[in-house]
Amino acid sequence: MERAAAIVIGAGHAGLAASHFLSARALDHVVLERGEVANSWRRERWDSLRLLTPNWQSRLPGHHYEGPDPDGYMTVPEVTEFIQRFAKVSSAPVLTGANVTRVRRTGDGYHVATSLAEFRCRAVVIASGACNLPAVPQLSDAVPSSVEQLTTFDYREPARLPSGGVLVVGASATGVQLAAELQRSGRPVTLSVGEHVRLPRTYRGRDVLWWMDASGVWDQRHDEVDDLTRARRLPSPQLVGTPERATLDLNALTPMGVNLVGRWAAVRDGQALFSGGLRNAVSLADLKMDRLLDTFDAWAMADGRWSELGPPERFASTRVPESTRLQLDLRSGEIRTVVWATGFRPDYSWLDVPVVDAKGHLQHDGGVVESPGLYALGLPVLRRRKSTFICGIEDDARAVIDHLAGYLAKRQSS
């Protein structure tokens, strides 16, 4: 049995940021990682993926992008390297190959069982990621076996799919990116579109994520957000990082030949049935985008930035077909593959502390979990809107480790 004041679970950027602040306070700790540093980037991403956040936004505590192209977007090997380097410069005490199999409370702290060793500690930081498993809806069970099904964890590149039609489900960042590359590969794509977040890649000459950052939208705190449950469920925006800085919304996909249909509602007798409500899904996204751009403009005016920026822009409403397809026969051979781009969920199967709700979400208040000494990092809107992004971890990790240090100090003195 090994002992440490704190155990951090996961060596992604979140766990490493926690380690950075623990080290700064000279708190003895170990970072347990089932694979290698930056494991999710090594194993769970597709080949063409680049970050959708620009390079200059890749900032971690004490470590940031210093290359020649601040406005570019990192490839996956570059992100892996960037995080690996962060682990090195912060001398993070990472134990790789240590899969955490159980965490439970003991009298004065926690017992952490791993595939390598067992630990006793007083505090645990859960930084195991928000995207451990693909979230695939139940109706996938009813898809005929003649159709191949892939999640974004299995998907690597178009050439590995059978030729023929592909039904991509979900129109968030992942869905629009895969729809575009599959369509370009000559496979006719049908994209099933539910609620989504539309954004232009650039606005008034700046990256739209520069606006999110500079205008303070991303800094909005979890206790200031109107409907936190909703904000935490918000899908990723329709963005892609490409050298051309091109917008990849539905209006960009339609001319490529991608066929838009509504939300996939059911499978009946081998027929996929889609919602007839697509028009409203796109109206909601258009209206929300316009409101966000209004917010940006108001900020630019108030901040005295107006003249440094290009003129305000408003983008064409999303075009949808006059009447969308409501049914598609999955046995006809038209669709050879279904790609589920329906999001991700965390995996807490190893967490033997009753802090996960019926829907599988960890219950916490700004990263502070109800069970004393237990903390979380890297979850959606953990403390701020930017929490899951690389640039969002510094503020969150500092605050959470502050709390953790206070907790340990109080215990020591009592």
Partner 1 sequence: MTTVANGVNVQALLDAREVLKGAPEAAQFTWRAAAKWNHGVHSTIKVQSFFGLGQEQSHKEESVFEADHPEVFAAEDNGITPIEYLIVGLASCLTAGVASVAQNRGIQLRSVEATVEGQHDIRGILGADSDVRNGYNDIKVTFNVDADASRQEIEALVAQSQKRSAVFDALTNPTNVTVEVA
Ligand X SMILES: Cc1cc2nc3c(=O)[nH]c(=O)nc-3n(C[C@H](O)[C@H](O)[C@H](O)COP(=O)(O)OP(=O)(O)OC[C@H]3O[C@@H](n4cnc5c(N)ncnc54)[C@H](O)[C@@H]3O)c2cc1C
Site residues, ligand X (CB under 6 A)? 9-15, 32-35, 39-40, 45, 51-53, 99-100, 127-129, 131-132, 174, 344, 350, 378, 388-390
284 binds, among ligand X, partner 1, none (CB under 5 to 8 A by kind): partner 1
* Residues of the shown chain interacting with partner 1 in the complex, contacts defined by CB under 8 A: 262-263, 265-266, 268, 273, 275-277, 280, 283-284, 287, 290-291, 323
40 binds, among partner 1, ligand X, none (CB under 5 to 8 A by kind): ligand X
132's tokens: 């451990």
Which residue, 277 or 380, has its beta carbon nearer to partner 1? 277
Q: Which long-range contacts (CB under 8 A, 24 or more apart) does 20-27 make?
A: 20/60, 20/61, 20/62, 20/90, 20/92, 20/397, 21/61, 21/397, 21/398, 21/401, 21/402, 22/401, 22/404, 23/90, 23/91, 23/92, 25/401, 25/405, 27/404, 27/405, 27/408
118's tokens: 């067992």
275 binds, among partner 1, ligand X, none (CB under 5 to 8 A by kind): partner 1
Least distance CB 302 / partner 1 (angstroms) = 20
Distance CA 391, CA 395 (A): 9
A 10 A CB-CB count for 305 gives: 15
Which residue, 4 or 278, has its beta carbon nearer to ligand X? 4
Least distance CB 194 / partner 1 (angstroms) = 11
Hey, what amino acid is at 47? D
280 binds, among partner 1, ligand X, none (CB under 5 to 8 A by kind): partner 1
151's tokens: 């999640």
Length of the chain: 414
Least distance CB 119 / partner 1 (angstroms) = 36
32 binds, among partner 1, ligand X, none (CB under 5 to 8 A by kind): ligand X
Distance CA 414, CA 293 (A): 52
390 binds, among partner 1, ligand X, none (CB under 5 to 8 A by kind): ligand X
* First-last CA distance in the chain: 25
Distance CA 276, CA 264 (A): 10
327-329 vs 271-274, strand pairing mode: antiparallel
Distance CA 30, CA 93 (A): 5
Least distance CB 327 / ligand X (angstroms) = 31
Which residue, 272 or 381, has its beta carbon nearer to ligand X? 381
Least distance CB 139 / partner 1 (angstroms) = 11
Least distance CB 358 / partner 1 (angstroms) = 9
Least distance CB 228 / ligand X (angstroms) = 19
Distance CA 395, CA 38 (A): 20
Which residue, 290 or 352, has its beta carbon nearer to partner 1? 290
172 binds, among partner 1, ligand X, none (CB under 5 to 8 A by kind): none
Least distance CB 295 / partner 1 (angstroms) = 13
Which residue, 53 or 342, has its beta carbon nearer to ligand X? 53
Helices (H), 188-341: 208-214, 228-233, 250-253, 278-302
Which residue, 103 or 278, has its beta carbon nearer to partner 1? 278
Residue least distant from ligand X (Cβ): 12
Which residue, 254 or 324, has its beta carbon nearer to partner 1? 324
323 binds, among partner 1, ligand X, none (CB under 5 to 8 A by kind): partner 1
Distance CA 332, CA 397 (A): 52
Least distance CB 290 / partner 1 (angstroms) = 7
Distance CA 22, CA 7 (A): 10
287 binds, among partner 1, ligand X, none (CB under 5 to 8 A by kind): partner 1
Q: Are 127 and 39 in contact (CB under 8 A)?
A: no
**HSE-up of residue 324 (Cα within 13 Å, Cβ side):** 25
Which residue, 12 or 262, has its beta carbon nearer to ligand X? 12
Which residue, 148 or 290, has its beta carbon nearer to partner 1? 290
Point out which residues pair with 64 in neighbouring strands. Answer: 59
388 binds, among partner 1, ligand X, none (CB under 5 to 8 A by kind): ligand X
